[in-house]
Chains A and B, each alone.
Chain A
Amino acid sequence: MSKFLTFSRVHSVRYRIKNPEHLIEKIIRKRIENNERIIDFKNYKDEITDLIGVRVLHLFKSEYSLINRNIRENFQIAAAHTPIIYKRNGDVVRQRKSLDTFEIKDHPRGYRSIHYILESTPTINTYYIEVQVRTIFEEGWSEIDHKLLYPDNLKDSLLNEFSMILNSLSGSADSMATQMKILKLELESMNEEHELEIKKRDEQIKSLGGLIQKSNLRSDDKEEIIKVIESSGQYGSYRSIFKKYLKSTSNDLFVNSIGSEIQKNDSEQ
């Protein structure tokens, strides 16, 4: 079995075991929310599914899909608990087949995260593990929100407003990170194309050198041209030397044009 930290695209992993006092507090809270819900010694491990909590953090939003695939391939998702995508009200979720296996919910506090309940039976007992997958910016916001607002300041309007602004900024930070990633890929692709162009140009210059040698140009001109080719290697220098032969200024056609002009000159002489 692979572990979370070994999954591709996972930046870091945090885990915690629920504090026993917070477990009791949660049982009390659940009873307050629903007076008919019974959580007792026999069933508390089934009813409270976050006794073990794991946070899987990643850098870019788009990475969730690979992490999702790895989780599903390597762990047992509890049948009674469909994974949930928590989103902020207004977030656009593009319909994709891969999302059919999720429940999508708007979170009132703008919390964005993907939650899974996994099950593991290492001995005779089955344990549930709550796994939360989110970006590090989302993690940063939720940690600050939790630290400053829970449990006493949930109704403070100013703190709430600031927290919502911070939430929005963390969303923007995620968008910016995504744009930077796209830009980096574009730059890498452009550099690759540029390298290929340079290679192609060098080969053309090399063949041009041969052509010049064979031409009927004056030997002074030949020497000057070849000297510049060998010493400079800079596109601009060739332009200045060859400009008297050049009619087209198209960069793509530049070397070919020179070749044509030289051949033309040869035939005219």
Chain B
Amino acid sequence: MKKNDIIGNISLLTMPTKINWTRIFKIANIDEEKFNDLGLDKQELSKIYQEFALLHNDLEALALFFCV
């Protein structure tokens, strides 16, 4: 196993796949009430979050492929 593989695996393991809504609301500068008014589906967003968190390393490899 190369050094990069190890870093990749650690990165994958440490990327949280469960969404923290408190943090999201803070980043988006929005409260839950206003969020609910937008008509967004929390479960749908959670699915996006989870898939994208798992996809992160693949995309990183793709980006690296483009760059160097």
- Residues of A bordering B, CB below 8 Å: 3-6, 13, 15-18, 20-25, 27-29, 31-32, 35, 40-41, 44, 51-52, 54, 75, 118, 120, 122, 127, 129, 151
Contacts and interface: CB of A to CB of B under 8 A. Distances in A.
Given A5-B67, A31-B40, A151-B29, 6 more contacts: A15-B63, A15-B67, A35-B38, A51-B52, A75-B66, A122-B62
Contacts of B45: 24, 27
A24 B53 CA distance: 11
B63 A17 contact: yes
B38 A32 contact: yes
Contacts of B53: 20
A244 B47 CA distance: 96
Given A24-B49, A44-B48, A129 B63 contact: yes
Nearest to A10: B67
A21 B56 CA distance: 12
Of A4, A21, A35, A75, chain B has the most CB atoms within 10 Å of the CB of A21
A28 B40 CA distance: 8
Contact of B44 (A15, A25, A40): A40
Interface string B1-29: 00000000000000100011001100111
A28 B20 CA distance: 14
Contacts of A127: 59, 62
Contacts of A27: 40, 45, 48
Contacts of A15: 63-64, 66-67
Contacts of B59: 17, 51-52, 127
A31 to B, nearest CB: 5
Given A23-B52, A24-B48, A13 B67 contact: yes
B48 A23 contact: yes
**Closest 7 A/B residue pairs (Cβ):** A15-B63, A25-B28, A25-B27, A28-B28, A20-B53, A13-B67, A17-B59
